A and B are shown apart, each in its own frame.
Chain A
Amino acid sequence: MSPNADRLGGGAEGRRAVLEARGLTKVYRMGEVDVHALRGVDLDLFEGEFVVLLGASGSGKSTLLNILGGLDVPTSGRVHYREHDLTEADDGALTRYRREHVGFVFQFYNLVPSLTARENVQLVTDISDNPLDPEEALALVGLSERSDHFPAQLSGGEQQRVSIARAIAKRPDVLLCDEPTGALDFRTGILVLDVIERVNRELGTTTAIITHNAPIAAIADRVITIADGSVLSEVRNATKARPADVRW
């Protein structure tokens, strides 16, 4: 793909951009009024890095993440995943993109209530080419013992860890987490962040986390702040904090 050929050769960070967004806008038409969720966002996610997207509620973070993950399409602008133009892709191609490359972690876990922890993970391994074993994925998030439990029998934090196990079981290239700690208490939130951080470190998965909690930004390689549908600032952390040291 020509537009980003120069970047592929080695960007500012000397690493390849896995995801590259240019001029993204998203307008929701709500009857008479237009809601501008994104107003021209440029953004890169580089191989193996851990990014935190920070912003107030309603600033457009989820909209951005959904577009990056192929869950939604922008009103205008372009998104490239490596050499593929996601904005040109049809529904089938987007589905394939999500299936093969992206792992999602949702704020409300979104587990299938009628399936056990293992089966929820299996949902993904059933359709992936070279997945982890579901047990292995659950072990990574420290839930081996709970693999036969249904979501209703698990605490919020445990459900979120199952959701992470489900997301990483396919060995995704990109892990996208939308407020993974949003529905959790502080202590459990740390536990979940710890798991995500470990996955990023040990498996080298490019990871983006959305949060409105500023202190969490400390654990990232890079912090992108979003306000009112635009990128406000971009900061590279000199030192990464460990999740356990974060307080909010």
Chain B
Amino acid sequence: MRALDRKLLRDLWRLKGQVATIAAVVACGIASFVALRGTFTSLRESQAAYYEQQRFGDVFATLRRAPESLKARVEEIPGVALAYTRLAETVMLPMDDMPEPAVGRVVSLPADGVPPLDGIYLVSGRLPRVGRADEAVILEAFATAHSLSLGGRIPAVLNGTRRDVRIVGIGMSPEFIFAISNPLDFTGDPKRFCVLWMDRSAVAPTFRMEGAFDDLVLRLQPGASEASVIEALDRLLGPYGAFGAVGRSKQISHSMLEGELQQLEGMALWIPALFLFVAAFLLNVVLTRLVYLQRPQIATLQAIGYPSWRIGAHFVELVSVVVVVGAIVGIALGAYLGRGMSALYAQYFHFPESFFRVDPRLAAIAVLVSVVAALVGALGAVRSILRLVPAEAMRPPTPLVYRLGLVERLGLDRIFGGSGRMVLRELRRQPVRTLLSSIGIALGVAIVVVGRFQADAFEELIDVQFFRAWREDLSVAFVTAAPARVVRELSQLPGVELAEGERYVPVRYRAGPRFRDSVIVGHADDLELRRLLDRDGVLVPVPEEGLLLSAKLAELLEVRPGDDVEVEVKEGERRVRTVRVSGVIDDTFGLMGHMRTAPLHRLVGEEQRVSLVVMRVDARSMDDVQARLKEMPGVGAVTRRMSIIERFRAQSGETMLFFTAILTAFAAIITIGVVYNNARVALSLRGRDLASLRVLGFTRREISAVLLGELGIQVLLALPLGLWLGDAMARLIASSVDPEQYRLPVHISARTYAFAAAVAVVSGIVSALFVRRRLDKLDLVEVLKERE
């Protein structure tokens, strides 16, 4: 082995603490990139492959009932390549293993079992036989959640009649990658929603749909305008009770997946960038010091005939080793974390195959980018090598340059005492490094804040939405709106203390060319159980007249209070009316409009009706009431508020814990990386001075104070900066979450701030202990003799 390579190895070994901590930061960057970007691309590719294989549609429409003959007219619309008509019915599944019924969606299969669009991927079993109304292929996630297997039965209330359906197959479909019963059910609980694919000819009579369809999937010709097809389709289907066709972007499963993908793509960019920035910074600090300390050595190498580029390469090799070690650990860690993340995603997004894999190209990119970042960090140091004049080797070592600053000139330094004065002078000598170090630590603090902010936001959201806004024990949703008298009937059930009705009317809001499909919620006067609270938990009254819109919806429609919006009612007489916007509410979930019941009924042109009844129920009677409700005709879903909360907490809890744990670990690594490296650099730069102080009679404690005082100040400076930065980053992330689904309240708890600060301080102390140990072992004779 060449002597220079041996020097490299020995230097690496001597700097192992620094090599390890910087490599760890690099590893975090690469791991986060491999995990996030890997999950992103894997999801993207799985999505594309799945859509392709199972012929995911382009345009989707739901209507009340149309004769099959209409299909030919649909196919005549310019731009339509293929139209697939089918039945899609919402049913109730009173499962034995949970108190409230699950929501079922019966989707018809053609006679040959192979839908031309929106096909199913059969995980196991077979398709239902033609004519068998008691056989179904069911959604895999539901089967898993309820431990159902082939040959088992599930109870279903089909159009009012209860029937046990036999599970002949278990499957999944690209239209139910994210499977929820309705857009307002954001929890995505697989226990609560099931698709039953059943033979069309067998179920048509049950729903009185012989020779008719109520659901439509289209494939468009390449280059066709989706908007114009939708417009033509809506015109054609309007008379048949169509709810307004939508493209993929408004298809629930697709839009949820896209929202997630967008977020992942963003995170896969900025999180690794953050780490690589810190790694580059650390390499710069460490290498600059190293080159400074090794100036005599470098000059000697030049003097004995090593060309400058060879010496530069020597330091580049040193950097490369750090990056390569970081890369190997990072890729392995990234693969592991990516698998974990994918497993979390797989709970909500269901694909035929598990989708995470490490793309070697991706890993290569990550390593390349890290090497570049590291080299950029190292560049300055290496450049200064190339500029060194070899005559330097001959010169005696140069002392560090100090200047007297304002503080000294004013004599203020006397109040700090000896050690304090040295700390102060060192900080003054290196203001940029002090600042950059503080920024590095601040980034660590910010990462912890970001890691916990979502948990905070969700807690806040739960508190506002499920404790302060919603106060019922139980809610009952009806398949179709029920006459208002059910409220009184339900309130008379034994155990029910209070019952109140809410009306949900599906509408399309339109303002000029802009539209959104959503609902108007009708609020009776003097409601107690459900109130409208904004994001900050402030009560917002529903105006006597006119419409109160989600602020986000108003923004999307570009309307303001006082403006008019057009409302197309998708029920009853399907009226189109103009309504005055009388206010907006900055709420957290969905895009909604709110009205008083009286004007809403007038708008729809109906008698008093309710879609949902919320009830306060005596705790002891809860199970009885739920059992009674399960049997009631027309009831679609019965939901306990507490079970929503539990579900919400359980699901987001796991994800939050995962991210919080990882980001906290990463942040600790960054902080330790910065603090430890700064301390080591300071120690090696000033080991001689400190040893000299010891010789003069200073105690270990006193010289430690000189060195660690600097670190303490860096950490202290970093705390407010980091908390502020974390807050800003949290806001940025909150705004990057698809705001049409939910809007996180940016509320960072004091606990999070304290935790983030604690991570920085503890990391600082741990680094300080390492350095302190080295200080204690400082061999006076050795240090004074050796010149690096």
A interface, CB within 8 angstroms of B: 62, 65-66, 69-72, 91-92, 95-96, 98-100, 102-104, 106-108, 110-115, 119-120, 122-124, 126-128, 151-152, 166-167, 170, 178
Residues from chain B with a CB closer than 8 A to the CB of A103 are 304
- Closest chain-B Cβ to A98's Cβ sits at a distance in Å of 4
- Closest chain-A Cβ to B314's Cβ sits at a distance in Å of 11
Q: Is the CB of B7 within 8 A of A69?
A: no
**Given the complex of chains A and B, what is the CA–CA distance between A96 and B306 in angstroms?**
8
Q: Is the CB of B3 within 8 A of A151?
A: no
Q: Is the CB of A115 within 8 A of B7?
A: yes
How many residues from B make CB contacts under 8 Å with A?
Answer: 33
Residues from chain A with a CB closer than 8 A to the CB of B7 are 112, 114-115, 119, 123
Residues from chain A with a CB closer than 8 A to the CB of B305 are 95-96, 98-100, 102, 124, 127-128, 170
- Closest chain-A Cβ to B564's Cβ sits at a distance in Å of 77
Q: A123's contact among B14, B304, B397, B786, by CB below 8 Å, is which?
A: B304
User: Looking across the interface, which residue of chain A has its beta carbon closest to that of B14?
Assistant: A114
- Closest chain-A Cβ to B625's Cβ sits at a distance in Å of 80
Q: Could you say which of B141-149, B387-395, B501-509, B656-664 contacts chain A?
A: B387-395
Task: Name the residue among A66, A151, A166 with the largest chain B CB count within 10 angstroms.
Answer: A66
Q: Is the CB of A114 within 8 A of B10?
A: yes
Q: B390's contact among A71, A100, A114, by CB below 8 Å, is which?
A: A71
Q: A124's contact among B14, B304, B396, B782, by CB below 8 Å, is which?
A: B304
Q: B786's contact among A96, A113, A115, A166, by CB below 8 Å, is which?
A: A113
User: In chain B, residues 391-416, which have Cβ atoms closer than 8 Å to a Cβ of chain A?
Assistant: 391, 393-397
- Closest chain-A Cβ to B213's Cβ sits at a distance in Å of 81
**Given the complex of chains A and B, what is the CA–CA distance between A170 and B304 in angstroms?**
10
**Given the complex of chains A and B, what is the CA–CA distance between A113 and B303 in angstroms?**
16
- Closest chain-B Cβ to A51's Cβ sits at a distance in Å of 18
Q: Is the CB of B393 within 8 A of A106?
A: yes
Q: Is the CB of B304 within 8 A of A104?
A: yes
- Closest chain-B Cβ to A56's Cβ sits at a distance in Å of 16
Residues from chain B with a CB closer than 8 A to the CB of A123 are 3-4, 7, 301, 304
**Given the complex of chains A and B, what is the CA–CA distance between A114 and B297 in angstroms?**
10
Residues from chain A with a CB closer than 8 A to the CB of B317 are none
**Given the complex of chains A and B, what is the CA–CA distance between A111 and B296 in angstroms?**
9
Indicate if B6 sits at the interface (CB-CB under 8 A): yes
Residues from chain B with a CB closer than 8 A to the CB of A111 are 300
Q: Is the CB of A71 within 8 A of B308?
A: no
Residues from chain A with a CB closer than 8 A to the CB of B299 are 110
28 pairs of residues in contact across A and B, judged by CB atoms under 8 Å: A62-B395, A66-B391, A71-B302, A71-B391, A71-B394, A91-B308, A95-B302, A95-B308, A96-B305, A104-B304, A106-B394, A107-B396, A108-B296, A108-B787, A110-B296, A110-B300, A110-B393, A112-B301, A113-B787, A114-B7, A114-B10, A114-B14, A115-B10, A119-B7, A122-B3, A123-B3, A126-B2, A166-B304
Task: Name the residue among B390, B395, B396 with the largest chain A CB count within 10 angstroms.
Answer: B390
- Closest chain-B Cβ to A90's Cβ sits at a distance in Å of 11
Indicate if B45 sits at the interface (CB-CB under 8 A): no
User: Looking across the interface, which residue of chain B has its beta carbon closest to that of A121?
Assistant: B3
- Closest chain-B Cβ to A112's Cβ sits at a distance in Å of 5
**Given the complex of chains A and B, what is the CA–CA distance between A140 and B73 in angstroms?**
104
User: Looking across the interface, which residue of chain A has its beta carbon closest to that of B299?
Assistant: A110
Indicate if B654 sits at the interface (CB-CB under 8 A): no
Q: Using known A-B contacts A113-B788, A114-B11, determine if residue A127 contacts B306 with beta carbons closer than 8 Å.
A: yes
B interface, CB within 8 angstroms of A: 2-4, 6-7, 10-11, 14, 296-297, 299-308, 389-391, 393-397, 782, 785-788
- Closest chain-A Cβ to B784's Cβ sits at a distance in Å of 11
Q: B6's contact among A102, A119, A128, by CB below 8 Å, is which?
A: A119
Residues from chain B with a CB closer than 8 A to the CB of A102 are 305
**Given the complex of chains A and B, what is the CA–CA distance between A57 and B389 in angstroms?**
21
Residues from chain A with a CB closer than 8 A to the CB of B391 are 62, 66, 71-72
Residues from chain B with a CB closer than 8 A to the CB of A92 are 307
Q: B303's contact among A69, A96, A100, by CB below 8 Å, is which?
A: A69
**Given the complex of chains A and B, what is the CA–CA distance between A104 and B300 in angstroms?**
9
**Given the complex of chains A and B, what is the CA–CA distance between A166 and B303 in angstroms?**
12
- Closest chain-A Cβ to B606's Cβ sits at a distance in Å of 88
Residues from chain B with a CB closer than 8 A to the CB of A66 are 390-391, 394
User: Looking across the interface, which residue of chain A has its beta carbon closest to that of B10?
Assistant: A114
Q: Using known A-B contacts A71-B394, A110-B300, A124-B304, determine if residue A115 contacts B389 with beta carbons closer than 8 Å.
A: no
9 cross-chain pairs, A with B, having the tightest CB-CB distances, nearest first: A99-B305, A114-B10, A122-B3, A72-B391, A123-B3, A110-B300, A71-B390, A66-B391, A71-B391
Residues from chain A with a CB closer than 8 A to the CB of B297 are 110, 112-113
Q: Is the CB of B3 within 8 A of A104?
A: no
Q: Is the CB of B4 within 8 A of A126?
A: yes
Q: Is the CB of A99 within 8 A of B304?
A: yes
**Given the complex of chains A and B, what is the CA–CA distance between A102 and B296 in angstroms?**
18
- Closest chain-B Cβ to A114's Cβ sits at a distance in Å of 4
Q: Is the CB of B393 within 8 A of A115?
A: no
**Given the complex of chains A and B, what is the CA–CA distance between A71 and B301 in angstroms?**
11
Residues from chain B with a CB closer than 8 A to the CB of A124 are 304-305
20 other A-B residue contacts (CB within 8 Å) besides A102-B305, A104-B304, A122-B2 = A70-B390, A71-B390, A72-B391, A92-B307, A98-B303, A98-B305, A99-B305, A100-B305, A106-B300, A106-B393, A110-B297, A110-B300, A113-B787, A123-B4, A124-B305, A128-B305, A151-B786, A152-B785, A152-B786, A170-B304
Q: B782's contact among A65, A70, A152, A170, by CB below 8 Å, is which?
A: A152
Q: B393's contact among A71, A120, A151, by CB below 8 Å, is which?
A: A71
